[in-house]
Amino acid sequence: MIGNATTRTADFVILGAGVMGASIAFHLARRKAGSVAVLDKDHVGSGGSSRSSALVRMHYSFAPEVQLALVSLKMFQHWREVVGEAGARWEGHAGATRFYMELLGAIPDIHFDLQQIVIGPQGVCEEATVTGTQQGKWLSHPPTGTKVDFRVVIYFPWDQRLKKFTGERVFLWS
């Protein structure tokens, strides 16, 4: 199911939530090209992407593939700068509270503008644009006193057995 409070349309609709679809969505969002929806007939990563050995190699015999691999290598080498800080964790209710207190403390006039919400058996995924004024340090970003404008995707995994959400994964990019 896809939609938000006002619309069920998107500027870009991507079929297939494998690494290709995810990458296209990422780059469109990064360029602020418009609203993006990724649809999958099954679930995220249900295709070959979940089975990959995750090897990165440069030796191919097909010239366009070599060029693609070389561009990819630059992205892998600068992964943090490209996709943002990864891996930071805030554990439990106390961690979640701390995360949001730090965020709200750093950007007191924060405004979440929900763009998309996707609900499925694996959980709920929300995409929003966030604006405000950064008055305090947040993550590794020093206080600038200037306007911030970034995108956030929040994924709430649903545990079908326990019948509850098991956490929240937050992905940010500007």
Q: Does 59 bind ligand FAD (CB under 6 A)?
A: no
Q: Does 101 bind ligand FAD (CB under 6 A)?
A: no
- Give the shortest CB-51-to-ligand FAD separation in angstroms: 4
Only segment of 49-57, 78-86, 122-130, 146-154 that touches ligand FAD (CB under 6 A)? 49-57
Q: Are 47 and 20 in contact (CB under 8 A)?
A: no
Q: Does 46 bind ligand FAD (CB under 6 A)?
A: yes
Half-sphere exposure of 108 (CA within 13 A, CB side): 5
Residue 89 neighbours by CB distance under 10 Å: 8
Half-sphere exposure of 72 (CA within 13 A, CB side): 15
Cα 156 to Cα 33, 48, 118, 167, distances in angstroms: 25, 23, 10, 6
Among residues 8, 9, 13, 20, the one that binds ligand FAD under rule CB under 6 A: 20
Q: Does 168 bind ligand FAD (CB under 6 A)?
A: no
Q: Which residues bind ligand FAD (CB under 6 A)?
A: 15-21, 39-42, 46-49, 51-55
